[in-house]
Amino acid sequence: MLFCKIMMNDWRQTMGNRIPYNGIWSKHLIPSLLVYGFCCYLNLVHAAERVFINVYLKPHSDHVIVEHIKAFNQFWATQKAPMSSVSPYLTHYPAHITLYLAHYNQKQLPTLLYRINRLAQQERSLKVDAEPFRVGAGAYIMLGIKKSQSLQSLSDRIVFLLKDLRDHKASIPAWAAQDQNRQELFSLYGSPGVLARYEPHVSVLAAPSHLKAQQNLHQWQQAVALFNQHTSIQPSGIMDTLAVGIANEEGQIIAELASYHLNTSLG
């Protein structure tokens, strides 16, 4: 890839010099253009080979926690604009609790799926307890999930099971780049949100960039506090499905690759 970078820089310099059309142009610039185009192709191929993979707990569509999120979404739709104009994730993506989210080369996926399949055969279903909704950094609204020992242990096992397969060339997300502890976690495990920094939750919605002003954020916090105030019981329920999916850069599942039923007889 270094060769491609050199050729791309050479092409930019050549275009900047505005060489007039003559024999030199056709003799040197056209081959350079072909190489530049090939390098662009290689860059695209390299990007396409990398996938963002989410290993997660998958609730059933009628799970009590999903119903709780639906109730919040209905409440959100009654809020004044521009809040009500923000579409909840559940409209487009399945609800999930991330256990481990990292980049991989596509060639690692068969091994990854094999390992998760083997793990699921040994794991039990687990009880998940919801906490109040909250507004996180970057104007995300999420449903908090209690970090139980069983949930933390499952996440940790998956991290250590898959960390050697991750793409070591992936870049740390901007929101974690200034946190030294998260930098270390990303360097070791390919994710800034694992082990001691694992914070289980279900993402509910996110503000687009033009609504992330402090004034709007305060309105979001007030709305979430109002909903929590009128919700006396936090739901809890059993989750018995471990799944693997391709995620977008927000961590939302855009394509499920596999799901595995956890052993309820061990619960």
Least confident of 1-10, 67-76, 162-171: 1-10
Alpha carbon of 26 to those of 8, 22, 33, 196, 242: distances in Å?
18, 7, 10, 60, 58
Length of the chain, in residues: 267
Give the CA count within 13 Å in the CB-facing half-sphere of 92.
Answer: 15
Query: Which of the four pLDDT bands, split at 50, 70 and 90, describes residue 233?
Result: confident
How do 236-239 and 201-206 pair as beta strands? unpaired
Q: Lowest-confidence range among 32-46, 85-99, 236-250? A: 32-46
Rounded distance, CA 156 to CA 151, Å? 9
Mean pLDDT, to the nearest integer, of 35-61? 70
Question: Which of the two residues, 44 and 259, has the higher pLDDT score?
Answer: 259
Tokens of 118: 């083997």
The residue ranges of every structural domain in the chain are 2-45, 50-266
Determine which of 102-106, 152-156, 221-225 has the lowest per-residue pLDDT on average: 221-225
Axis-axis angle for helices 2-17, 30-49 (nearest 10): 140
Q: Is the pLDDT of residue 266 over 60?
A: no
- pTM of structure: 0.80
User: Residue 43 pLDDT > 80, yes or no?
Assistant: no
- Which pLDDT score is estimated for 218? 83
Which is more confident, 150 or 231? 150
Is the domain defined by 50-266 classed in CATH 3.90.1140.10? yes
- The whole-chain average pLDDT of the chain stands at 84
Query: What pLDDT is attached to residue 176?
Result: 85
pLDDT of residue 19: 40
Q: What is the pLDDT of residue 232?
A: 80
Do 230 and 224 meet the contact criterion of CB atoms below 8 Å apart? no
Q: Using one digit for the tens of pLDDT, what is the confidence trace for 87-113? A: 999 999 999 999 999 999 999 999 999
